[in-house]
Chains A and B, each alone.
Chain A
Amino acid sequence: ETGVTQTPRHLVMGMTNKKSLKCEQHLGHNAMYWYKQSAKKPLELMFVYSLEERVENNSVPSRFSPECPNSSHLFLHLHTLQPEDSALYLCASSQELGQGVNTEAFFGQGTRLTVV
């Protein structure tokens, strides 16, 4: 496999469910990201991991919980979501070359989440 892979591609969950989104990158990158894309809105950055350490959390509600066990994998754990959390969730990765210089980000195909 190459590139950035996200699973599942589609997910429907109830507000009381617990589910996880998975992202895997085979590019040897050391930075990974979660973005949320709602209809009619720009992509919103949720979390940034650099060298497996979370370096940014953009005021995301605690019902979203990221996990980065290693540089190739990123998870987004979901629990007690709201209908307004329905969106396309995109994972991306890039290579941080030091001193804040990164290569372009490569994205997965996203998980389309519907909360009912």
Chain B
Amino acid sequence: AQKITQTQPGMFVQEKEAVTLDCTYDTSDPSYGLFWYKQPSSGEMIFLIYQGSYDQQNATEGRYSLNFQKARKSANLVISASQLGDSAMYFCAMRDFLYNQGGKLIFGQGTELSVKP
């Protein structure tokens, strides 16, 4: 069965520093996608970055990068140069492709990031 694990309930980071949010996953499907979402206090889930299981390079989107280690089944999110507006809940999610009619996402428990001025 699919499973996503985020072991850090809460994290603190100083403004302008980098922070890594951990995510490990488990799936028996060789074809899958990994996603990170940000959820501010307003409630909306904002898509940040995507990594496909066959992608050769780590995904990057602006200040966000994904440290994808396939053998370890980890997909950690790295936020560089943290900003106060980065304070939010961050969710790791996975979708496998072969047995997933409808494309549903499975989410981890989330990590609450607080950026200190």
Contacts and interface: CB of A to CB of B under 8 A. Distances in A.
B42 interface: yes
Contacts, number: 72
B102 A49 contact: yes
Interface residues of B, number: 26
Contacts of B42: 109
Nearest to B42: A109
Contacts of B46: 107
Give chain A's interface secondary structure class: strand
Interface of A: 31, 33, 35, 41-43, 45, 48-50, 55-56, 88, 90, 92, 94, 96, 99-102, 104-110, 112
3 closest Cβ pairs, A-B complex: A102-B103, A107-B45, A48-B102
21 contacts: A31-B103, A33-B102, A33-B105, A35-B107, A43-B107, A48-B102, A48-B103, A50-B102, A88-B43, A92-B45, A92-B105, A94-B103, A96-B103, A100-B98, A101-B103, A102-B95, A104-B35, A105-B47, A106-B47, A107-B46, A109-B44
